Structure 1
Amino acid sequence: MKNIFISLMFFVGINSFAQEAGKAGELLKNEASTTEMKSSGNAKSNNKVFDQSKYRNTESQNTRSKNPNYQWNRNYGYAEVFLRIPEQGFFTVEVDDQTISNGSGKYRFFDLSSGRVPISIYDNGFLIYRTTLMLRNNNRMVLDFFTSEGLYLLDSYPVQGQYSGFSDWNDVWNSPYGSQSGNWNNWENVMEDAAFSRFFEMLERNEKFDDGKMAMINQQMRSTMFTSYQIKSLVKSLSFDRNKLDLAKSMYRKCADKNKYFLVYDAFDYESSKRELMEFITKS
């Protein structure tokens, strides 16, 4: 019985102290002074509506239990939200229980829980937009917000794989809407230049004849918009003018900048094909 008791105490001891605060890692010095930590007015707040009280350091908040209930095995979840606000101004964005305030227009949220998560946007402290996002674990949701239009979901990428190593903010947003004429909504699904280069390279490498190229392009058109310049390159890759004309007509509806479709005319060898495409566009 004595051996059993000792074994039980040893087992309990291991589980109680296997993870103990302050037993691993390097302790970094607390540089906040006693006066700062006891002050209730040191929170930065420049708005009238957004409640910053929960971020303030009060004496009662600094008087914590010496034996807190650590959540060692808590399931934090992992979803990400990248939001861009391409306008001048100072915005605050709340996603779930995380808050970011700045004037750079870049808002990146990590370690979010999956499921229905609220998002709120404040302009100089005043609430201007609120909705609910549906997040999935190991996925990054990419959004754009315009004060006059609203919040737009551009895409959702897996965190692992080719999208995991975003090295630059511009790797996420490489869309030219806002600098192009026409309806900017058309640019949501436009193939980015880097992706188009890979697609075009694959097209030239794997398909030697017009039929195969057209089949591959038509397949991609089901989910992708193209620019006039991209369409010109695809049309020009075909060998026969009749096939070029058919492709140019079918891709017109998938063009994001129809006002520049005149660029496609240069892909034809014969003037008659150019005129037929012009007439088609005029009637469309």
Structure 2
Amino acid sequence: MRNIFIGLLFFAGIYSFAQEAGKAGELLRNEASATEMQSAKSKGLDNRNDNSNNSGFRNPNNQNNRGRNPNYQWNQNYGYSEVFLRIPEMGYFTVELGDQVISNNSGKYRFFDLQSGRVPISIYDNGFLIYRTTLQLRNNNRLVLDFFTNNGLYLLDSYPVQSQSYGFNDWNDVWNDLYGNNQSGNWNNSGNVMDHNTFRQFFLMFDKEPFDDGKIAMINQQMRNSQFTSEQIRDLVKSISFDKNKIMLAKSM
């Protein structure tokens, strides 16, 4: 009887930490109409580039290519954002985000070099549009999302992009940790106090955030990786607009 009771407690613990569709994050409303979802998207390649029939690879004997200089843009600087989307279902999906498209059956869709601002995202299943909405991207930020065909698209987190983020041993933790399944310990660097130069870089980005909620979210994300000194905490709290938010932040730090 005792073994049965222990077994039930064990399975109850596993179930309580299991990920569930729609359990975490903010639901982003589907903006696709019923009519749009009835017709399949053409699989033809995009033809927006104004270079039809003039490629030296397609037409090596084309006399027009001689002396022609393509319009190279070596240093395009229009902002930088990232979006990490997971579709934890077996199947081949296509995700269109702004002017980028990714198709695979791995369930992981990672977009880089995105312009900041309002960017449309569309999700296709077998060529049919099943979900479309608009994301608000911030410069030097990453959005983490989950999509479920029966539940919708959920925004799990948004945080500043940091160079050390690319040292993850397990990319899946980007999603899994947001469900409270943090078992790797990668985020708990309690002894890592932020140095002065790193803090100034963080504070410059932090100070550009206009709303208290956004600033507090940035601080909470940073605290997963490092600690602040008392002087740094003072500067951060001082930058918060409302007194009640200052008190709440000071207590949490």
Q: Highest CA radius of gyration, 1 or 2? A: 1
- Name which structure has the greater RCO, CA cutoff 8 Å, separation 6+: 2
> What TM-score does the superposition give when structure 2 sets the normalisation length?
0.49
